[in-house]
Structure 1
Amino acid sequence: MKKMSNIYESAANTLGIFNSPCLTKVELRVACKGISDRDALSKPDPCVILKMQSHGQWFEVDRTEVIRTCINPVYSKLFTVDFYFEEVQRLRFEVHDISSNHNGLKEADFLGGMECTLGQIVSQRKLSKSLLKHGNTAGKSSITVIAEELSGNDDYVELAFNARKLDDKDFFSKSDPFLEIFRMNDDATQQLVHRTE
């Protein structure tokens, strides 16, 4: 399987977006609310796929991680895209229920999608819309995309964490603890930066 960076480069070459001067790089963070599934007895395993339009066709650029049994997923995976000020860059965010048995889309359930332009997200910084499925709203489900311009600062910090004597929350098996790291936004809200596996 190709690395996601290679997939992005391949898609970018196909879309011809490397031929224009790049204005800036933008990070897109994605979260969904109220995702519904055909199977009322179980919760979906949602994944968001980002597609970009060129010459009337849609090409996959990247996808988030799959979050198991969740109707309100907040994804740690970022989409990094080039923003061209003078171009209309049409984006499509598709939410799919991808079971643990496969990562392909042929057998996955389409839960809803949202189309917009990159310019809309960048200008509003935070864009929330209802998910649509076959032209109709997909229940009360919605998607939120937050844009942030990259500063170009390549500094990094290395952190190490460990934990001991965590409470066992599962009765029949060992717990699978993970760590979530958040950052504080200017408006005092918290934003997920990273989730360990």
Structure 2
Amino acid sequence: MKKMSNIYESAANTLGIFNSPCLTKVELRVACKGISDRDALSKPDPCVILKMQSHGQWFEVDRTEVIRTCINPVYSKLFTVDFYFEEVQRLRFEVHDISSNHNGLKEADFLGGMECTLGQIVSQRKLSKSLLKHGNTAGKSSITVIAEELSGNDDYVELAFNARKLDDK
């Protein structure tokens, strides 16, 4: 009996059944509403930073462009991430006010953040949450993340129908 299971395992490994993880690529679009700056005299220059947790540590994946003087930014930058069906992938979206002189985070003000799993976003297709700052809501600020699965299939089908001498019933 042991020999039979080895045959199945060998075939599965050869076909890549055990080695290939169940994954798909997902595009994430981000928009924010009601972002408030601690400087009441000016509007923020917000940027969203996407971080992913791995082995208990948060790592920056990518960041959006900075949109100057905007409280309701809709970012054109798309985040493309691998979605592993059988793994919990924790994400953190951080909104920072990037000063006009620097693009670095050292000079930036933290405006709020949101944590969730990639599975939550993918299953709901659109996830909106209040931004949190040090555990409390950051005013009326919110963030919306929209997920779109990339199929990798850009083919299309064109159908044409033709009929003659149909019964008029």
TM-score (norm 2): 0.79
Please give the alpha-carbon distance, in whole angstroms, between the structure 1 residues aligned to 2:12 and 2:59.
9
Cα pair 1:33 1:73 within 8 Å, conserved: yes
Answer yes or no: is the 8 Å Cα contact 2:22–2:86 preserved in 1: no
Structure 1 pair 142/67, CA: closer, same or farther in 2 (3 Å)? Answer: same
Q: Sort the Cα spacing of 1:5 and 1:42 in 2 relative to 1 into closer, same or farther, 3 A.
A: farther
Measure how far apart 1:148 and its partner are.
0.3
Alignment RMSD, CA only? 14.0
Residue 55 of structure 1: how far off its partner (Å): 1.3
CA positional deviation for 1:22? 4.6
Kindly tell me: are residues 60 and 2 of structure 1, through their superposed partners in 2, closer, same or farther at Cα, counting changes over 3 Å? Answer: farther
Q: Label 1:53 to 1:68 Cα distance change in 2 as closer, same or farther (>3 A).
A: same
Please say which of residues 8-17 and 128-137 is displaced more in the overlay. Answer: 8-17
Structure 1's 127 and 107: CA in aligned 2 closer, same or farther, altered over 3 A? same
- The 1:136/1:75 distance shift into structure 2, 3 A limit, reads same
Query: What is the alpha-carbon distance in structure 2 between the residues aligned to residue 106 and residue 2 of structure 1?
Result: 60
- The structure whose Rg is larger is 2
Greater CA drift, 61-70 or 159-168: 159-168
How far apart are 1:16 and its partner, in Å? 19
Q: Which runs of 4+ in 1 moved over 2 A?
A: 1-20, 153-168
| Cα contact 1:22–1:82 (8 A) shared by 2 | no
Contact 2:35–2:72 (CA under 8 A) maintained in structure 1: yes
- Residues 16 and 122 of structure 1, relative CA distance in 2, 3 Å threshold: farther
Gaps of 5+ in 1: 169-197
Cα 1:126–1:120 change in 2 (3 A) is same
Matched positions, count: 168
Name the CA shift for 1:152/1:111 in 2 (closer, same or farther; >3 Å): same
- What is the distance in 2 between the residues matched to 1:103 and 1:11? 52
TM-score, normalised via structure 1 length: 0.68
**2:103 pairs with 1:91:** no
Superposed counterparts of 1:72-91, under 5 Å: 72-91=72-91
Change (3 A) 1:69 1:162: farther
Measure how far apart 1:153 and its partner are: 3.2
Aligned to 1:128: 128
The SS at the match of 1:7 is: helix
Structure 2: distance between partners of 1:91 and 1:118? 6
What does 1:152-167 correspond to in 2, within 5 Å?
152-153=152-153
Structure 2 CA distance for partners of 1:21 and 1:111, relative to 1, 3 Å = same
CA shift for structure 1 position 115: 0.1
Q: C-alpha separation between the residues in 2 aligned to 1:130 and 1:4?
A: 55
State whether residues 27 and 81 of structure 1, in contact with CA within 8 Å, keep that contact through their aligned partners in structure 2: yes
Residue ranges of structure 2 left out of the alignment (5+ in a row):
none
Identity of aligned residues (%): 100
Q: How far apart, CA to CA, are the structure 2 residues paired with 1:38 and 1:4?
A: 68
| More displaced stretch, 66-75 vs 14-23 | 14-23
CA distance in 2, matches of 1:104, 1:9: 50
1:8–1:62 CA contact under 8 A, matched in 2: no
The one of the two structures with greater contact order (alpha-carbon pairs below 8 A, sep at least 6) is 2
Secondary structure of 2:5's counterpart equals helix
